[in-house]
Chains A and B, each alone.
Chain A
Amino acid sequence: MNENTANEPSPPLNYLTAERGIWSWWMSTDHKRIGLMYLGSMIFFFFLGGFIALAIRSQLFRAGSTLLAPQSYNVAFTIHGVIMIFLFIVPGVPATLGNFLLPLMIGAKDVAFPRMNRLSYWIYALGALFAFGALFMGVDTGWTFYAPYSIQNRWGVVTMTLAAFVLGFSSILTGLNFLVTIHKLRCPGMSWNRLPLFVWTLYATAILQVVATPVIGITLLLLILENLFGVGVFNPAMGGDPVLFQHFFWFYSHPVVYIMILPSMGIISEIVPVFSRKPIFGYKALVAASIGIAVISVLVWGHHMFVAGMSDAARIAFSLLTFLVAVPTAVKVFNWLSTMYKGSISFESPMLYAMAFIFLFMIAGTSGIHLATLATDAHYHDTYFVVAHFHYTIQGGAVIGLYAGLHFWFPLIFGRVYNEKLARLAFWMVFIGFNGTFLPQFALGMEGMPRRYFTYPAEFEPLHQVSTVFAFLNGTGYSLVLLNLLYAAFRGKRSPANPWGSLGLEWSTSLPPPHDNFERIPVVEDWSYGYAQPQTAVRLKQMEEASRAAQLHQGPQTPHEGPPRHMQPEQAYDAAKLGMWIFLGTEILLFGGLFCAYIIYRLANLELFATASRHLSWPLGTLNTVILLTSSYFMARAVSRARSGDNDGIIRCLDLTLLCALAFLVIKGFEYAAKFEHHLFPPPNIYFGLYFATTGLHALHVLCGMGVIVWLRGLAENERFSKTYFTPVEMGGLYWHLVDVIWIYLFPLLYLI
């Protein structure tokens, strides 16, 4: 990319050319580069997953086909699901376009925590590595990892779930970063009611990422422990409850479908006004719908379990709540439609994708109604109808939205334009191929064809054949999109400033933007949907000029380390604090999941828990509680020393905290040793399973906290803190207190009652 731009006349420096070499990308904290790296990795996985999908479709072309061996087929659909969900569409739009555009759209120089952003990509890469490893280990559980099939001590499942766990971490970091960025880094004039709708959907998504992901984290962790040591929680043979796994799993995995779709809806809300040259219709309704969807979506997970043996009352309640989620979805469709009314509409490829999205998403949403209805879902559950439904939502919705956005912002990202004719051709191939693949699957579902079958009775064959043929058209279409965009990214014609005539703030900088986005932090005077007004033309002209001027003023900017330079000091402090509180929230949710499991099993096995808890030594537990409380006291002292600028004081207090932590771990070690001696490990029953899971996880947190303290101590020794700057000490302190508070809950639960 770099060489090519260098060959052209007067290369303007931008984020792409600011620095050269793979290493400069890997180490970059620039949100635009990180977004692009995500995009590259994800597109790779999208095509890998798509390739496997074609293998699956080929096997299904004929009833009784033996193209793939049964086991290969089962592995293939598992890999396909895991790749598409965890490696592609869950990071999805937020990690790619979101990362790239969020700061540009709210007039900031970067996200709140650029280094955390880079860390989230690194973690993603690590997770991808694990997942890649697991690909070769023959995991065949499906992406849902239902217990007890998934707890038959197989390293493949452990590796795969570890990958999903790690990827969840990356997702939380992105969500946290976005929340803080949106709260603290909006430029002057960018009030909440002018916030672009894409940003609003990123906001709603980020909330879901932060709230739901910790729960899948703890679920996967328990599943891993179950495989390694036999905790018993999900194992009916040990009195565990396989349905609990499903509850935990869907508590995350339902909201996650809205994590996938909401940002794509935001993209549609950006594109339709630009190409209709009309303000977005019902801005407030669209915002309310996004938030509404986010809120309701954490209350409906049970609709994946209508026939899993829940009480009839629960089935009815979850059914009703699920219906409610359809309403805000419908509201969005009507508002997009009305935006086109009396517009001046043109139909370049982004608009084609946007209109396709609206059409496809209606099919997706209304098929959701079939599934929310108890009477019909009992027929449709786990058939091809569900397969068709979620491909319409995810591929027809989330992916088509992503492609709409890619085509729309392509000139901004690369400063070049793609071949529009080819883009339209590819669009029609994708659109027809997609519908041809998945419409027949609705019919198959009606007929009763179950999912995850490598072979099927002959009467299902004709529809399967149609589906397979169109799947290849679909795949060819996507390949054409890729080739077109890839070629354009390197060789495309230079894009003129603001090629679509958008009023979005992101278009007022150069194409592609400089490393720091804006020369000066912009000041916003109107929302970005003010089309069809007398002053619109003038504003567009100003934006174009600003964009051209930005081209002339660019110099090389090296990504930097150290205290943030893209924020004011107070802003940085506020951001750090908000970020820390959100992080603590996710920790609480993580342990919350464990506490839930504990309480559920305790209530179901009162006797077992009461007798088993007598094996614990409450004097040691009490001692440990006192030690932790003392450590909290020293930590608080360290913060107050920091506040008065007493560097030696900080070091002294941190040392004492560290000492307490060490004492805690040593005592814990003795306790564990005693349990080992009494053969209470591997755990003989759920009580000890939960005992080791909770206290072990807590001990791990203590260890992390000690790492933080050591790091703070190092900073203090280098005299990095002052009366005015001691944010890290304060944040470290908050974390340490949380670790103690969790123990305060654990102690009575495990030792005393």
Chain B
Amino acid sequence: MTKFLDWMPVAASDYAKEVDWINLMITTAAALCILAVTAAMLFFAWIYRRRAEREHSAYITHNYLLEVLWTAIPTVVVIAVFYFGTKSYVAARTPVKNALEVQVTGYQWGWDFLYATGKQSTNELVVPVNTPVRLVLKSRDVNHSFFVPALRLKEDVLAGAYHYLWFTATRIGEYPVFCTEYCGLSHAYMQGKLRVVSQADYASFSQIEQTHEMPVSEAGQQLFAAKGCMACHSVDGTPRVGPTLKAIFGREEKLVDGSKIVVDENYLAESLKQPNAKIAEGFAPNMMPSFEGQLSEQELEALIAYLKTL
């Protein structure tokens, strides 16, 4: 289509192309509707314009068939749009196994990125091409929103809970990143960059100089030992006082109240801070101490990173 209806920026993923297609479909349909009704309106305005003061006009009050038709047809149309829009979106939000993970922290006013290797970057997110990526988003202060126009995706970044984004970039290049939730004075400067690089480039980028920095999960492992978690939780599958943490991440946990839950970052964080909030089936409440206030945010993140490796 012409630029007239479609101003989307370059698409950096297959999903983005899908969105463009849906968008173009809606825009075109909308434009056609608007044109048709406007043309009819102008046509009526012209041929039924008042030519004489006393002039015949028809006494028509309603037509049930028409009412039914123009209720039913738009209903069908919007449900079709709903179907396509939802299908693509849900596919894009379905977790991909073994996705490359990056921790994203928003703050007034910038973005920090932490990669699985322990590599860190600020305001520039680097990801390998053709690789599923999972962003774990969290804010250190007020609300932000992580928006990559080239991916046609955004998700709010809030304090108090982790949010997620999944994507697979398919086009090497540099793309703007914007904060799209107003966050105070320099909100407009809270811009970053997404750099999609080849997998080889990514490997060299994410490598860290072997100095005192260590991978996050390793720091988590040391904490796991230091805080005495081992006393109650095995990592090899044997049940102790508490459930084993083997393959804990992503596993479906049955709770004492009968409900089921898939273990994610929010669940792990809650279990550390308020152990009694959700009790796994077969275990008693009030066994585990709360670590609320005893772990810094970084330590919490490290622990969670470690648990994911089990």
Contact = CB atoms under 8 A, between A and B. Distances in A.
B48 to A, nearest CB: 5
Interface in A317-373: 319-320, 323-324, 326-327, 330-331, 333-335, 337-338, 340-347, 355, 358-359, 362-363, 366-367, 369-370, 372-373
Contacts of A335: 67
Given A330-B74, A359-B34, 16 more contacts: A237-B159, A242-B160, A323-B78, A324-B75, A330-B70, A337-B40, A337-B41, A343-B57, A345-B44, A374-B85, A374-B86, A374-B89, A446-B9, A448-B176, A457-B191, A605-B274
Instruction: Report, nearest first, the 4 A-B pairs whose CB atoms are least far apart.
Output: A448-B149, A236-B160, A373-B85, A366-B30
B85 A531 contact: no
Contact of B57 (A149, A327, A333, A532): A532
A278 B60 contact: yes
A382 interface: yes
Contacts of B178: 448, 450
By DSSP majority rule, is chain A's interface helix, strand, loop, or mixed? helix
B154 interface: yes
Interface in A605-636: 605-607
B212 interface: no
Contacts of A605: 274, 277
A268 to B, nearest CB: 12
Contacts of B135: none
B161 A342 contact: no
B60 A70 contact: no
Interface string B30-60: 1001100110110011001110000111111
B22 A450 contact: no
Nearest to B290: A607
Contact of B182 (A149, A316, A341, A373): A149
Contacts of A326: 74, 78
Chain B facing A: main interface SS: mixed
B60 A382 contact: no
Interface stretch (A282-290, A402-410, A666-674, A712-720): A282-290
B261 interface: no
B249 interface: no
28 contacts: A74-B184, A148-B143, A278-B59, A279-B61, A281-B63, A316-B86, A319-B85, A320-B86, A340-B44, A340-B45, A341-B44, A342-B60, A343-B58, A345-B49, A369-B81, A370-B26, A373-B22, A374-B89, A376-B19, A376-B22, A376-B85, A378-B155, A379-B152, A382-B145, A444-B7, A447-B9, A448-B147, A532-B59
A331 B64 CA distance: 12
B71 interface: yes
Nearest to B153: A378
B213 interface: no
B60 A362 contact: no
Nearest to A306: B89
Contact of A70 (B30, B70, B163, B188): B188
Contacts of A442: 7
Interface of A: 70-71, 74, 140-142, 146, 148-149, 236-237, 239-243, 276-285, 307-309, 312, 315-316, 319-320, 323-324, 326-327, 330-331, 333-335, 337-338, 340-347, 355, 358-359, 362-363, 366-367, 369-370, 372-376, 378-379, 381-383, 442-444, 446-448, 450-457, 529, 531-533, 604-607
A654 B189 CA distance: 63
B241 interface: no
A556 B39 CA distance: 52
A191 B65 CA distance: 26
A281 B60 contact: yes
B84 to A, nearest CB: 8
B186 A70 contact: yes
A456 B44 contact: no
Given A148-B159, A607-B276, A278 B45 contact: no
Contacts of A331: 67, 70-71, 74
Given A344-B50, A366-B33, A369-B78, A277 B143 contact: no
A282 to B, nearest CB: 5
A120 to B, nearest CB: 32
B141 to A, nearest CB: 8
B23 A376 contact: yes
B158 A236 contact: yes
Given A375-B88, A379-B19, A346 B188 contact: no
Nearest to B78: A323
Interface string B173-189: 00010111111111111
Contacts of A375: 18-19, 22-23, 84-86, 88-89, 92, 152
Contacts of B154: 307, 378-379, 381-382
A392 to B, nearest CB: 11
Given A281-B61, A334-B70, A453-B188, A242 B158 contact: yes
A444 B9 CA distance: 10
A468 to B, nearest CB: 17
Contacts of B34: 359, 362-363, 366
B8 interface: yes
B7 A446 contact: yes
A379 to B, nearest CB: 4
Q: Chain B contact residues (Cβ within 8 angstroms of A): what range?
A: 35 or more
Contacts of B208: none
B23 A359 contact: no
Given A340-B41, A382-B181, A370 B59 contact: no
A327 B185 CA distance: 40
A446 B8 contact: yes
Nearest to A151: B142
Most chain B beta-carbon contacts within 10 A, residue among A281, A307, A337, A372 = A307
B62 interface: yes
A359 B31 CA distance: 12
Contacts of A370: 23, 26-27, 30
Contacts of B30: 366-367, 369-370
B90 A312 contact: yes
B188 A327 contact: no
Given A236-B160, A374-B86, A450-B180, A344 B9 contact: no
A452 B58 contact: no
B78 A450 contact: no
Contacts of A444: 7
A335 B63 CA distance: 10
Contacts of B163: 309
Contact of B153 (A320, A343, A379): A379
Contacts of B158: 236, 242-243, 308-309
Contacts of B86: 316, 319-320, 373-375
Contacts of A533: 59
A276 B55 CA distance: 11
B56 A241 contact: no
Given A276-B48, A327-B75, A327-B78, A241 B160 contact: yes
Given A282-B62, A606-B277, A323 B38 contact: no
Contacts of A457: 176, 191
B9 A362 contact: no
Nearest to B161: A309
Contacts of A456: 188
Contact of B152 (A236, A242, A324, A378): A378
Which of A149, A370, A444 gathers the greatest number of chain B CB atoms within 10 Å?
Answer: A149
A347 B86 CA distance: 44
B66 interface: yes
A451 B179 CA distance: 10
Contacts of A327: 71, 74-75, 78
Given A370-B23, A451-B180, A319 B82 contact: yes
Contacts of A362: 33-34, 37-38
B79 interface: yes
B301 interface: no
B299 interface: no
B156 interface: yes
Nearest to B191: A457
Nearest to B184: A149
